[in-house]
Amino acid sequence: MFPCYFVCLLILVLILVVHLYKISKKQGRSGPHNNSVIQQPFRTSSCQWLNLLAYSQLIDIFSVLALLAGCGCLLANVLPYHQFKLQVPTCDRFGPSGQILYLVHKCFIYECLIIRLQSSFVGSVYTYNAKMMQGLHVLNVSLIILFSVGLCTEISGKHKYEVTKASNGGYICVNKNSFSISSVIVVVDVIMNVVLLVLFVKPLYALSKKSKPSKNANAALFDYHHNNTHNNNNDKNNNDQSQIVSVSLGTLPPFPPVTTTTTSTDTTTTTTDVSAGGPLPWVTKQSISESKSLQHRPSFFELTTKVSILTLIMTLSTLFSILLLALLKWTVFVMFDVVINCSCLLLVFKQYDPIYRLLCKCCLHPSCFLNNASFNQSRVSQTTTNTPVYPFNLRKQPTTSSIDDFR
């Protein structure tokens, strides 16, 4: 397993180089009107230099630090573990540096996710309380301090190292990790990932529920359009009869079309109500353009699936690697865990969506199938040629950068 350390280290260095290239490329394209750049998660902070930092700058800094801490963790683990010598080594050169760098690596990942949560719903009714966000930041920093002190006390103070003989006749240093500390690390990692996932998905779930009008809303929309169409037809032609297709609003996106069909003695035409008056301005030209632009945005289901799957992968990877390290003294899985965590962290964000779609196509098939099925069902239910009109979204929309740019 000795070559695997350097293979994983090489992969991690390549990921770091690619990430730095994307950061430099993104900074070259970003302008002064880019919302994702000028957004400041700590704009209410009393610290002057902190409230000037933009979201993209903070994410770039902490993601690079997470990658650097991962590289340092692999180096610190492989160097003392494979000190092949013909005499008994002292095994106290590096101490608990590998374990501490691993914890720092994990806390930098948590910090990226906390900052994303803090910035995702700015400008909407789902913005989280500033004190709660500050509490998460303080908790994250406290974890680094507590675990670092605990590891130094447990490993350095009690000399939790042993010397074993390697297959080539030399001696190697083996770290005897405490099961209690490893169990606490696993529990804290699971709790942090679950809490951050729930806090991010909860507003998305609320938005998806608000995008589904109730039966009373559907009935009101039906009466509204039926009355307007009936009155207009009476003024124009008493012989004309107005018919309207019942409103059926599916999940976001896409929206089923709403049409008004007018039948005369010679021809059958389909028109749309574009009246500007009334409390339901969801058939105007502006609403059509806004709903079409909304269709091109990622659906709530796809976004929730993506974040949930990547969080689950990171949690399971840490769970198995730490438990195997504590129970069987297998350190080989820790290096894979570092690579997996760094990869999943970068895949969470939008700039790595093409790579995510390439690697996780199976996660996107359900959403694509449901959207296509909903669209095809609405097409089959129509018996006449119609012009689709998409209803206007009545809820308060977060800013475009708050959802799409912070995935």
pLDDT score of 95 more than 50: yes
Task: Return mean pLDDT, the chain.
Answer: 68
Q: What is the pLDDT of residue 250?
A: 33
| Token pair 């906390």: residue | 114
Task: Check: CB of residue 181 under 8 Å from CB of residue 141.
Answer: no
- Is 330 in contact with 324 (CB distance < 8 Å)? yes
Distance between CA atoms of residues 96 and 106, nearest Å: 16
pLDDT digits (tens, 9 = 90+) for 133-142: 889 999 999 9
Question: What beta strand segments (E) does 303-377 contain?
Answer: none
Q: Is the pLDDT of residue 157 over 60?
A: no
Most confident of 31-40, 145-154, 252-261, 350-359: 350-359
Q: Give the residue with greater pLDDT, 285 vs 126.
A: 126
Mean pLDDT (whole number) for 122-151: 84
Q: Hey, which of 34-38, 326-330, 366-370 has the most confident mean pLDDT?
A: 326-330
- Could you give the CA distance from residue 388 to residue 258 in angstroms, rounded to a whole number? 6
Is the distance from CB of 16 to CB of 24 less than 8 angstroms? no
Position with higher pLDDT, 35 vs 146: 146
Would the pLDDT of 293 be above 50?
no
As its CATH architecture, domain 1-26+40-209+298-360 has Up-down Bundle (1.20)
Residues whose CB is less than 8 angstroms from the CB of residue 281 and which lie 6 or more positions away in sequence, other chains included: 287, 392
Estimate to the nearest angstrom the gap between the alpha carbon of 326 and the chain centroid: 30
Nearest to 114 by CA among 228, 195, 31: 195
Span 175-217, pLDDT tens digits: 666 677 788 889 999 999 999 999 998 888 877 776 554 444 4
Using pLDDT thresholds of 50, 70 and 90, give the confidence band for residue 364. Answer: low
Distance, in Å, from the CA atom of 59 to the CA atom of 323, rounded to the nearest integer, reads 30
Are the CB atoms for 301 and 370 separated by under 8 Å? yes
Count CB-CB contacts under 10 A for residue 95.
Answer: 17
Which range, 22-26, 89-93, 225-229, is most confident? 22-26
Distance CA 373, CA 121 (A): 30
pLDDT at position 183: 85
| Spans of all domains in the chain | 1-26+40-209+298-360
Write down the pLDDT at residue 36.
45
Mean pLDDT within 335-343: 93
Q: Cβ distance 347 to 310 under 8 Å?
A: yes
Whether residue 152 is predicted with pLDDT greater than 50 in this model: the reply is yes
Query: What is the reported pLDDT for 64?
Result: 95
267-283 per-position pLDDT tens digit: 444 444 433 333 433 43
